[in-house]
């Protein structure tokens, strides 16, 4: 019961948050990352960010088994469903808005997933270089 209350409270704060300007790493309008499963900090399908997005969920990436295993080993299990948060669990091939620093950590470990550049928020460039993103760009 407490978790449902907490989830509702977080949702209310999210509704009042100001979403940062939605441009991608090319300075163009941010494209949809994924709507099945519905991704993004605001669960709008886009890698939008704002003042309460402390994780900076701005990198649109296509999940791989290697990345899912890696992030689970770091304490962030993205593959197991969590009905309390209406989270279906991810599988290889799903696209998801990742925290910029987790993607960078995975990049340095050699397991960063491919990135959809047109759907990656320009705020990612505060944490990552364009060369890193281009190197892992989804073709």
Q: Which fold has domain 2-135?
A: Phenylalanyl-tRNA Synthetase; Chain B, domain 1 (3.30.56)
Q: With 80 as the cut, is the pLDDT of residue 135 above it?
A: yes
Of 90, 101, 95, nearest in space to 32 by CA: 95
Predicted confidence at residue 87, as pLDDT, reads 87
Predicted confidence at residue 139, as pLDDT, reads 81
Q: Are 61 and 95 in contact (CB under 8 A)?
A: yes
Beta bridge partners of 24: 121
pLDDT tens for 30-70 read 999 999 999 999 999 999 999 899 999 999 999 999 999 99
Predicted confidence at residue 53, as pLDDT, reads 93
Read off the pLDDT of each residue in 10-29 and give the average, rounded to a whole number. Answer: 69
pLDDT tens for 62-97 read 999 999 999 999 999 999 999 888 789 999 999 999
Note the Cα 85 to chain centre separation in Å. Answer: 15
DSSP 109-136: HT-PPPB-GGGSBGGGGGTS-HHHHHHT
| Non-local CB neighbours of 46 within 8 Å, separated by 6+ positions | 22, 30, 31, 32, 33, 40, 97, 119
Q: With 90 as the cut, is the pLDDT of residue 17 above it?
A: no
Domain-wise residue ranges, the chain: 2-135
pTM: 0.85
């Amino acid at each position: 019961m407490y978790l449902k209350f907490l989830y509702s409270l977080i949702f209310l704060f999210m509704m009042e948050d100001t979403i940062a300007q939605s441009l991608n790493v090319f300075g163009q309008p941010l494209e949809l990352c994924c709507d099945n499963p519905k991704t993004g900090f605001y669960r709008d399908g886009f890698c939008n960010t704002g003042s309460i997005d402390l994780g900076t969920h701005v990198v649109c990436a296509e999940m791989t088994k290697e990345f899912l295993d890696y992030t689970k080993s770091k304490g962030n299990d993205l593959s197991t469903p969590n009905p309390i948060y209406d989270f279906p669990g991810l599988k290889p091939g799903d696209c998801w808005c990742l925290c910029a620093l987790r993607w960078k950590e995975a990049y340095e470990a050699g397991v960063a997933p491919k990135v959809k550049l047109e759907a990656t928020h320009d705020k990612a460039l505060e944490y990552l270089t364009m060369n890193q993103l281009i190197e892992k760009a989804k073709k």
